[in-house]
């Protein structure tokens, strides 16, 4: 697995180790032909904490450093990153994809019409994000 970090990011060495740990936990680390681009931005469109778009080969994750009119803490950004890396797993394992016209497909079935909180891919990401963060964050490394 190849990953790139773009944008200004605090504690880059910690973030890199965290990503490696998350990819290993999600069993994505051996997918050598896949690429993830992780971009840290001051603010993201639609005032979200992060988002992921992808295919079964390449995924782009964007993490916002602010949300709802306030700066997000470093650890909040890292928990958001965990959530978005679950979406990377979903794209790479072909659980989540885009159909014609941009509508989502979940496990090869059309998945349009769900409210955000009822989307099965979001339910899985919200369910896994905290555990992924706690198990994978390198708490032993020094934060600057």
Q: Give tens-digit pLDDT for 48-79.
A: 999 999 999 999 999 999 999 999 999 999 99
Is the predicted pLDDT of residue 101 greater than 90, yes or no? Answer: no
Q: Which CATH architecture group holds 2-136?
A: 3-Layer(aba) Sandwich (3.40)
- Burial (CB count <10 Å: 0-12, 13-18, 19+), residue 76: middle
Strands 35-41 and 2-6: parallel
Q: 67 with 42: CB under 8 angstroms? A: no
Would you state the pLDDT for residue 2? 95
- Burial (CB count <10 Å: 0-12, 13-18, 19+), residue 136: buried
Would you state the pLDDT for residue 81? 99
How many Cβ atoms are within 10 Å of 35's Cβ, its own excluded? 15
> Token pair of 4, please?
């790139």
């Amino acid at each position: 697995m190849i990953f790139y970090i773009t944008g200004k990011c605090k504690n880059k060495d910690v973030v890199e180790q965290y990503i490696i740990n998350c990819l290993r936990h999600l069993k994505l680390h051996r997918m050598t032909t896949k690429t993830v681009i992780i971009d840290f931005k001051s603010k993201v469109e639609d005032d979200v904490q992060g988002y992921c778009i992808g295919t079964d080969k390449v995924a782009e994750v964007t993490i916002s450093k602010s949300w709802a009119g306030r700066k997000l803490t470093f650890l909040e950004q890292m928990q958001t990153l965990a959530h978005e890396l679950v979406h990377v797993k979903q794209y790479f394992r072909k659980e989540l994809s885009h159909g014609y016209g941009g509508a989502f497909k979940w496990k090869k079935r059309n998945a349009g019409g769900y409210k955000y909180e009822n989307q099965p891919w979001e339910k899985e990401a919200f369910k896994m994000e905290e555990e992924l963060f706690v198990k994978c964050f390198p708490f032993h490394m020094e934060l600057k």
